[in-house]
Chains A and B, each alone.
Chain A
Amino acid sequence: GESVGLHLPTLSVQEGDNSIINCAYSNSASDYFIWYKQESGKGPQFIIDIRSNMDKRQGQRVTVLLNKTVKHLSLQIAATQPGDSAVYFCAEGAGGGNKLTFGTGTQLKVEL
């Protein structure tokens, strides 16, 4: 994926609004996709995953959408809270997900 160095794309939302974070993946053979949340000084935290035989999956306050035609993945967070502030990464895997390839992160900032 494209490297943005220290300048991560940033999404600012008001508390209570819905957030949508987008990701483009590169490998047509990828069959497993995951969203991770990473807070400063911590390792990535699993949020939700989806396999390529699905186009939508819902969790608690989160929904992942997969569009294989355009190789696009999105994460929707409902009623965004201050605790959701973090960097969000999408990751893709192929053939069982042994090796994950991470995309460029997006910094989500929740404003009170």
Chain B
Amino acid sequence: GAGVSQSPRYKVAKRGQDVALRCDPISGHVSLFWYQQALGQGPEFLTYFQNEAQLDKSGLPSDRFFAERPEGSVSTLKIQRTQQEDSAVYLCASRSRKNEQYFGPGTRLTVT
């Protein structure tokens, strides 16, 4: 069956530009997560949705980061006024009823 999909897979942005990263979770998965993964490190939690409700956004590094999931399915992570330190892989995961988090392939963001 279809897994978690993310688009674009690669994004190059000039410093100061806004970007929007999309996540399509596994159909029927209620919970959706965003993580940030720097090169050579493990993913770090950004935010969590249950249906359309954003229940935890404690990991968002600044107010330039914003996530939404208006209809409880597709989610978008938006980064405003990108900076070089935002360069990373952004991973989306959705969770099954067995509590297993399944990850998408990620979007590699490079800010120049």
Q: Which A residues contact B (CB, under 8 angstroms)?
A: 1, 3-8, 32, 34, 36, 41-46, 49, 89, 91, 96-105
Question: Which of B35, B100, B101 lies at the interface centre, i.e. has the most chain A CB atoms within 10 A of its CB?
Answer: B101
Select one of B39, B55, B91 contacting A6, CB under 8 A: B39
- How many chain B residues have a CB neighbour from A under 8 Å? 27
- How far, in Å, is A97 (CB) from chain B's closest CB? 5
Q: How far is the CA of A97 from the CA of B33 in the complex (A)?
A: 11
Contact B105 A104 (CB under 8 A): no
Specify which of B91, B99, B100 is in contact with A43 (CB 8 Å cutoff): B91
In the complex, which of the residues B39, B41, B56 contacts A99, with contact meaning CB atoms closer than 8 Å? B56
A4-B40, A98-B31, A98-B56 in contact; A43/B104 too (CB < 8 A)?
yes
Binding site for A on B (CB under 8 A): 4, 31, 33, 35, 39-45, 48, 55-56, 58-59, 91, 93, 95, 99-106
A-B contact count (CB 8 A): 66
Q: Kindly state the separation between the CA atoms of A6 and B33 in the bound complex, as whole angstroms.
A: 25
- 9 inter-chain pairs at a CB distance below 8 angstroms, sorted by A residue, are A6-B40, A32-B99, A43-B91, A43-B106, A44-B43, A44-B103, A46-B101, A46-B103, A102-B43
Dominant SS at the A interface? loop
Which residue of chain B lies nearest to A36 when distances are taken between CB atoms in the complex? B103
Q: Are B56 and A104 in contact (CB under 8 A)?
A: no
| Residues on B with beta carbons closer than 8 Å to the beta carbon of A49 | 99-100
C-alpha gap A64/B35 in the complex (Å): 24
